[in-house]
């Protein structure tokens, strides 16, 4: 695993050299499926004002996707449910996970389910259906969300400088950026 605060550049950059996350588990095949998808719908119930621990263990892994802006042209929508509160903050986090690597968010559902089961909640089902239609339309029409694109361009400028500064240690990312014509 990439050790935070490690003294060795080898440990610090362990996930950058091979171009994939170093631990051998189910993450890399899952990430390949994510890259192949047209639409992404990250969702989580809220546990103490955040996504579940199981979700977070995967969400912390794709540094390469952020550094290399691996999701441009992808679209997503987020879903966050809570028993009481924290659903908006969790939805904000989920949207950040989409947008940092270059995807655009077509919307969200963030709600509380505080009074028991909601399977027949007509209004919530109507909102979920509308969000699905919005996401599919964004994908088909290649809709652009100018404020998100502007934020992503600023982030790309930042990572351009980071990639150039670390080109000797992050050679794979550097070559990726060259191939994209971003350097």
CA distance 100 to 124: 28
H helix or E strand, kind and range, residue 60:
none
Instruction: Kindly report the CATH number assigned to the domain that includes residue 142.
Output: 3.40.50.360
Q: Is 173 inside any structural domain?
A: no
Q: Is 179 inside any structural domain?
A: no
Burial of 77 (0-12, 13-18, 19+ CB in 10 A): buried
| Residue 140 in tokens | 């088909």
Tell me how many domains the chain contains. Answer: 1
Q: Token match 């171009």: residue?
A: 19
For residue 82, the cross-strand partners are 112
Bridge-based pairing of strands 39-40 and 75-82 is parallel
CA distance 160 to 118: 46
CA distance 53 to 74: 25
Q: Is 87 inside any structural domain?
A: yes
Q: Is 78 inside any structural domain?
A: yes
Q: What is the pLDDT of residue 2?
A: 35
Residue ranges making up the domain that contains 138 = 23-150
Q: Is 170 inside any structural domain?
A: no
The three-point CA angle 51-53-54 to 5° equals: 100
CA distance 91 to 81: 9
Q: What is the pLDDT of residue 8?
A: 45
| Residue 94 in tokens | 């989920």
Q: Is 177 inside any structural domain?
A: no
The rounded average pLDDT for each run of 10 residues, N- to C-terminus, in the chain (183 residues) is 42 58 73 92 94 90 86 95 92 96 96 68 87 98 96 94 92 92 93
| Residue 49 in tokens | 């004002």
């Amino acid at each position: 695993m990439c050790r935070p605060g490690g003294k060795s550049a080898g440990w610090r950059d362990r996930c950058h050299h091979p171009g994939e996350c170093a631990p051998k588990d189910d993450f890399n095949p899952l990430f390949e499926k994510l890259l192949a998808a047209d639409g992404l719908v990250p969702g989580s119930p809220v546990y103490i004002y955040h996504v579940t621990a199981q979700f977070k263990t995967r969400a912390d892994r794709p540094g390469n996707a952020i550094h290399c802006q691996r999701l441009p042209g992808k679209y997503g929508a987020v879903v966050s449910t809570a028993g009481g509160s924290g659903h908006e903050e969790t939805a904000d986090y989920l949207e950040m996970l989409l947008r940092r690597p270059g995807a655009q968010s077509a919307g969200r559902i963030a709600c509380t389910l505080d009074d028991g089961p909601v399977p027949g909640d007509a209004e919530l089902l109507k909102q979920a259906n509308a969000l699905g239609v919005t996401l599919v339309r964004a994908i088909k029409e290649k809709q652009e969300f100018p404020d998100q694109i502007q934020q992503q361009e600023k982030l790309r400028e930042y990572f351009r400088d980071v990639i150039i500064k670390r080109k000797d240690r992050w050679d794979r990312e550097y070559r990726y950026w060259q191939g994209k014509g971003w350097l």
